[in-house]
Structure 1
Amino acid sequence: MLSKEDVIKNYVKMSLNVIRTYDWLLDLYVLDFFQDDHWSKLPLAWRQSFDNIDPTTLGNVLCGQPVNIILPLSFLALKKAVDLLSIPRKQSISKKHITYVPDYSIGNHPRLKNLFLKHVKLKKRHEISLMAEIVKDVADQTKCKAVLDFGSGVGHLVRMLAYRYELHAAGLECQSQLTEEARKLDLELEYTIRKHITDEHMKKLHKPEHLNVKLTCHQQLTHIELPETLGTYGLVGLHPCGDLGPLLLKHFVSDDKVKFICMVGCCFMKLTDHGYPLSKYTKKLNSELSYPSREIACHAIEVYCDRLKKGNYEDLKIHAYRAALERILVDIDPKLKHAPVRSIKHSDTMNFERYCHLAMERLNVPLPTKTEVWLRGQTDVQMWRRVVTVYSLRLVLAPLVETVVLLDRLLFILEHGISCEIRPVFDPKISPRNHVMIARKQ
């Protein structure tokens, strides 16, 4: 019988085999659609099936629902392989009830129940509420009463872990202005709490610490002066960007003081060779993931499918506008390839020339004057359905690329003899990077 580690290795190997077969599709970066003639790069059978496909039907195809068109067998095989190999993304959270004691905890106070959601946007509310419960549960299991939150921002999560769940919590943030804002929000919260609990209970509150630190390597973490309450602690990372996630994993496996880690990855396109691959096994494989493939893996296939299925796809025309503009920019100067133009929302009243004028405002580049340039651009944007189709076909592979990144991290932890699991905790329609990696030391 295969061990858990061997099963994961097989999944990584098979997933990479599929990705290698479809590197050509993953690397069709949407900006270059017209410049590199992406449509011609699709197999003939795919072009015949998907040309002029209704976006609503395309949404059903992405979701695996029945459609009244004949799809190429090679595409159906790809879709099936991705579905079988990818880590499930459907939200699955434990219904286990966590009992918080003692009774004086402000987390049990009826008038303070929603206090921690003030100043917090919907997406963040969803994330910090579920993440805090996961962290509290793992902390109880490991008998660890302290946590260190990396990339803590203005401290929404660390504030909940401290005041509500009564953990000794500290947040590390590289931007000093965010750290200062976090401290101000702590004082605002305490001002409200004081109106509803006694002075005696106020003295018992666990107040979070906010540290201003910029990390460059995981060894640096061992030299940071932490509060005395963090003799041993758990690591928390809610969407650490790029290489910061792998940096936390390296610190976790190498430092005996760290008892557990709860982490949700993000921004895979910013990973370097220091952040992927991590595991010894994956490093032995042909495991390269290009920038376009890691970038597409950060997009929300569930939200995109819904928009297509519900007919809310008119604003997707903007992808064609941007791709048509890219061809103009490269013609002006090849150095303008992928230039950071201004982001413009689609409008039915906005023509292509107006879009270019608005998008190029920051570049200080004069607009073309030749009539044929604008005629070609207008012809390009009429092909917006093809642009949306190619983007959608690439998106089919997105969960598989994310799976490889996550399983590589899982293998890295297992190779160090530490138990680890991955749970789809967040609703992917609210928080696209919805997998929480949980590892505990014995």
Structure 2
Amino acid sequence: MNSQKEIVQSTLSMSLKVIRMYDWLLDLYVLDFFVDKHWDKLPQCWRDTFEHMDPQHLGYILSNKPSNFNMVLPLSFLALIKSIEALTLPRENRSKTRVKREINDVDSFKGNPKLKNLFLKHVKLKKRHEISLMADIVVDTALETGCKAVIDFGSGLGHLVRVLAYREELYAAGIECQTQLTEEARKLDLELEYTAKKHLSADAISKLHGPLHFNVTLSSNQQLLELPLPEEMKNYGLIGLHPCGDLGPLLLKHFVETDHIKFLCVVGCCYMKLSCGDKGHGYPMSDFVKQLDSHLSFVSREIACHSIDVYCERLRRGNYIDLKVHAFRAALERILVEHNPKLRHAKVRSIKHSDSMTFEKYCTLAVERLHLPLSAEAWARGHADLRQWRRVVVVYTLRLALAPLVETVVLLDRLLYVLEKGFSCEIWPVFDPKLSPRNHIIIAKR
């Protein structure tokens, strides 16, 4: 039986081979659709098929959902879709359901029914979902490793560390680079304690240990060693809920290099901000991937952060008319480039599409800061391009189909990096991908 490391290496190797075959598709900018004739870049058999296919059908195909559509698909396209399906990390939550323990002690945050929803104040629905599941995993991992303390990087307003400290009774600290967020987090701690005093005894209040909050821009492991932590936090777990760019890889490196960090729970984000290549340290991380043809362009890493689950659901519902805005922008790009080649990729105002919005209105709003006179000939060219708007949707959808494979490569490279250092590591899809598209958590234990 192959070891975990061998399986990960094999998956990475095959995934990168598929990505290399379709770099030409991944690296397309949607706004260049008409300027660079993206439709003509598709294989002829793909063009013949997708020219007459309703994008709704494509949504069913990419979601691997049964449909009533009957159409012969190109074998090369089927091979791509099956390869992505076989290699990509699963996105639906398949982890074991945590056993909830009944708490009968009403003189505690966890057991008092009047304090049950106190942690939900000031927290949006998406964040509530993430914090609830993340807290469960952190607590379970802390118990498994015999660790009673955690440090959360990028703690923001401190919602997660507040749950872990007051409700779960772990020693918790949050590190945030923005002073304003740290100050607000401390105010929210005081607000929570003020409310708790109305429902808990003085003895219970005296035993509370609220989270610590530090203002640090993390750039080296030495900064961790210099934090004025209490004795109870001599050993701790590192956690990060969507740390941006290189911060995720930095936490992984801190874990493998520091003996008193007992576990790691990290959910990544913003792959396009990773530093890459020989001079970078965000990707690739593992020795194995560094030896492969592992390049991932900025465009491919950027699209890997998009929500394919929500997008495909909209396609399946036939709710894709608002995607016409991509064609509006692409048609405008050709007008700008033909007016002046130096205006290529010029910054224009972001406009939300509506059914009643005309192309002229869109362009007028988008380029109002550029003060460009648009001729009747330019409008005619734009309207001619817009008649092909479904082609734009198709090409963008085909690019998005590859996004989970790019994310898989980034995440498995991180997993393999930890395995190469001799530590236990695993990846689980933990959040609802429709609510939180970056839903995989890396769990490492010392």
SS at match of 2:372: coil
- TM-score, length basis structure 1: 0.96
Classify 1:373/1:256 alpha carbon distance in 2 versus 1 (closer, same or farther; 3 Å): same
How far, CA to CA, are the matches of 1:367 and 1:227 in structure 2?
62
Alpha carbons of 1:221 and 1:102: their partners in 2 closer, same or farther (altered >3 Å)?
farther
Cα distance in 2 for residues equivalent to 1:115 and 1:340: 43
The structure-2 alpha-carbon separation of the partners of 1:45 and 1:98, relative to structure 1 and needing over 3 Å to count, comes to: same
Distance 1:340 1:218 in 2: 38
1:439 aligned partner: 444
2:103–2:110 CA contact under 8 A, matched in 1: no
Greater displacement, 149-158 / 327-336: 327-336
Return the letter of the residue paired with 1:205: L
Shift of residue 235 of structure 1? Answer: 0.5
Are 2:349 and 2:365, in contact at CA under 8 Å, matched by a contact in 1? yes
Please tell me the residue identity of whatever aligns with 1:348. Answer: D
Partners of 1:325 and 1:275 in 2: CA distance: 35
Task: After superposing the two structures, state which structure 1 stretch, 178-187 or 89-98, moved more.
Answer: 89-98
Residue 367 (structure 1) shift: 2.3
SS at match of 1:107: coil
Instruction: Find out whether 1:69 has 2:71 as its counterpart.
Output: yes
Partner-residue secondary structure (3-state), 2:15: helix
Q: How does 1:15-414 map to 2 (within 5 A)?
A: 15-65=15-65, 66=67, 67-99=69-101, 103=105, 104-273=107-276, 274-361=281-368, 364-414=369-419
Aligned 8 A contact 2:91 2:440 in 1:
yes
Residue type of the alignment partner of 2:148: K
The answer to whether the 8 A contact 1:173-1:211 is kept is yes
Write out per-residue CA displacement over residues 124-182 of structure 1, whole angstroms, 9 at most, x where no aligned residue: 11100000000011011111111000111111111111111111111111111111111
1:371–1:286: structure 2 CA closer, same or farther, 3 Å change rule? same
Report the residue type matching 2:98 in the other structure. Answer: K
**For residue 7 of structure 1, what is the aligned residue in structure 2?**
7
Q: Report the alpha carbon displacement of residue 112 of structure 1 after superposing the two structures with TM.
A: 1.2
Alpha carbons 2:104, 2:111 under 8 Å: kept: no
Is the 1:235–1:262 contact (alpha carbons within 8 Å) kept by the matching residues of 2? Answer: yes
Q: Distance in 1 between matches of 2:46 and 2:221?
A: 46
Q: Distance in 2 between matches of 1:234 and 1:89?
A: 25
Question: What residue in structure 2 maps to residue 416 of structure 1?
Answer: 421
Distance in 2 (CA, whole Å) between partners of 1:308 and 1:116 is: 36
Q: 1:229 to 1:359 in 2, by over 3 A?
A: farther
CA drift of 1:5 comes to: 0.5
**What's the secondary structure of 2:425's corresponding residue?**
strand
Deviation readout 1:349-385 (Å, 9 max, x if unpaired): 2111211222234xx3112332111211222223221
TM-score w.r.t. length of structure 2? 0.95
Q: Does the 8 A contact of 2:325 with 2:353 survive in 1?
A: yes
Contact 2:161 2:172 in 1 (8 A): yes
Judged with a 3 Å threshold, the aligned counterparts in structure 2 of structure 1 residues 102 and 249 are, in CA distance, closer, same or farther, namely farther
- RMSD of Structure 2 on Structure 1 (CA): 1.6
* Cα-to-partner distance string for 1:371-408 (whole Å, 9 max, x where unaligned): 11121122222322111100111111111111100100
User: Is this contact kept in 2: 1:98–1:137, CA < 8 A?
Assistant: no
Report how far residue 333 of structure 1 moved: 4.5
Over 3 Å counting, the alpha-carbon distance change for 1:218 and 1:319 in structure 2 is farther
The structure-2 alpha-carbon separation of the partners of 1:79 and 1:190, relative to structure 1 and needing over 3 Å to count, comes to: same
Alpha carbons 1:32, 1:326 under 8 Å: kept: yes
User: Greater shift after overlay, 194-203 or 223-232?
Assistant: 223-232
- 8 A Cα contact 1:242 1:270, kept in partner: yes
How far residue 319 of structure 1 moved from its aligned partner, in angstroms, is 1.0
1-structure distance, mates of 2:387, 2:285: 44
Letter matched to residue 395 of structure 1: L
CA shift in 2, pair 1:287/1:41, >3 Å: same
Identity %: 64
After TM superposition, the structure 1 stretch with the greater mean CA deviation from structure 2, 143-152 or 319-328, is 319-328
Structure 1 alignment gaps of length 5 or more = none
Q: Which residue identity lines up with residue 318 of structure 2 in the other structure?
A: G
Q: 1:18-57: per-residue Cα shift (whole Å, max 9, x none)?
A: 1101111111121211121110100000001001421211
Cα separation, 1, equivalents of 2:347 and 2:145: 47
CA distance in 1, matches of 2:166, 2:272: 35
Amino acid at match of 1:38: H
Residues 84 and 143 of structure 1: is their aligned pair in 2 closer, same or farther, counting only changes over 3 Å?
Answer: same
Could you say what secondary structure the match of 2:437 adopts?
A: coil
1:86 counterpart letter in structure 2: T
Contact 1:219 1:251 in 2 (8 A): no
SS of the counterpart of 1:393?
helix
> Number of paired residues?
439
Q: CA deviation at 1:209?
A: 1.0
